[in-house]
Amino acid sequence: MADIAVPVEITASVWKIEATPGQAVAAGDVLMILESMKMEIPVESPRAGTVKSILVAEGDQVNEGQVVLLLDA
């Protein structure tokens, strides 16, 4: 299986992580929610697969383009 890197599209803070390692996800499932300027921005799975690892924790600051999660797809 190939690893699929899931990057974020905005500089923000990680507000809530919805996924857990080993969890099966479908394309479009919300993996985590970011917060920027009091707006909640969902990070969605680009395809179906299994969450391999989460590279950030709740409260972490992330930058645009940073990979936050790996999927086995």
Domain count, the chain: 1
Q: What is the pLDDT of residue 73?
A: 81
Q: What is the pLDDT of residue 3?
A: 92
Q: What is the pLDDT of residue 23?
A: 97
DSSP 63: -
Q: What is the pLDDT of residue 56?
A: 98
- Which residues span the domain enclosing 49? 3-72
Q: Provide the edge-to-edge strand list for the sheet that holds 67-72.
A: 3-7, 67-72, 49-54, 24-25
Domain CATH for 60: 2.40.50.100
Per-residue pLDDT of the chain (73 residues; tens, 9 = 90+): 689 999 999 999 999 999 999 999 999 999 999 999 999 999 999 999 999 999 999 999 999 999 999 999 8
